[in-house]
Amino acid sequence: MSEVSNVGPSSPQERKLYQLDYKQGAELFQQALDAHEHANSPFKKAAFQNVMERAMKVMNESARALKEKGLENQNKTIEKDFTAYQNGGKPDPLKRDLEQAKRSV
């Protein structure tokens, strides 16, 4: 992934790479969420949570690099859903917003 700058992607190819990074981050987050739900060990749950946090970071960096406010706002919604999930909430809103995020790039 290229370094994030203030001018956005410099070429269509670079833009596609950031879009791919975003989609892969969302997919990885979703897979880790599914695994986290079924994990029976606190160590596994912690590992999957770490994966979700790192995937969210990739999604945030990609959205900023793409200069797309819609994606940045979508990420804020995902982060709120993630916080609610971590506090005992249902995963359904998070899963729904992750699917929407993957379709929006």
**What pLDDT sits at residue 5?**
47
**What pLDDT sits at residue 4?**
47
21 Cβ partners below 8 Å, 6+ apart? 1, 58, 61, 62
Between CA 87 and CA 100 the distance in angstroms is: 22
Whether the pLDDT of residue 3 is over 80: the answer is no
Q: What pTM did the predictor assign? A: 0.87
* DSSP-assigned letter for residue 2: P
pLDDT digits (tens, 9 = 90+) for 38-67: 999 999 999 999 999 999 999 999 999 999
pLDDT digits (tens, 9 = 90+) for 14-24: 999 999 999 99
Report the percentage of the chain scoring pLDDT > 90. 87
**What pLDDT sits at residue 41?**
97
